[in-house]
Amino acid sequence: MHEEDILSGTLMEDCWLTLEQLAAACAVEPDWLVQHLQEGLIPHAESVAGVWRFSTAALVHARRMRAFERDFDAVPELAALMADLLEELDTLRARVRALGG
């Protein structure tokens, strides 16, 4: 899969991805994810019986991180911070819409 390939679809709530599935969806090697997990940069992930599983929020976060690293040559910590800020912005926008704004 090339970095230019785009996977599209509908994110489902309560859907968990494996390490390999998340890596494929982000167009990265599983080692990229493992490194970022070890550094604590990917939230919304849990290890169950030694097997990593990832929520759809982790997918969005990892894709954003990868984009910042690729497009802006950002270090992983900065990419994670920017992904966190975008998640917070998404949450605030949803709250404003819910209030009718």
Domain ranges of the chain: 17-98
Q: Alpha helix (H) ranges present in the chain?
A: 19-26, 30-38, 56-72, 76-98
Separation CA 47–CA 64 (nearest Å): 22
Residue that has been written with the tokens 């912005």 in this structure: 89
**Model pLDDT for residues 60-71, shown as the tens digit of each residue:** 999 999 999 999
**Model pLDDT for residues 4-58, shown as the tens digit of each residue:** 555 555 555 568 999 999 999 999 999 999 999 999 999 999 988 989 999 999 9
Q: Tokens representing 64?
A: 């954003």
- The CATH number corresponding to 17-98 among 3.90.25.10, 3.40.50.1820, 3.10.20.600, 1.10.1660.10 equals 1.10.1660.10
pLDDT at residue number 81 = 98
Nearest Cα to Cα of residue 56 among 86, 91, 28, 26? 26
Let me know the angle formed at the C-alpha of 13 by 65 and 99, rounded to the nearest 5 degrees. 85
Can you give the pTM of this predicted structure? 0.82
In contact, 36 and 61? CB cutoff 8 Å: no
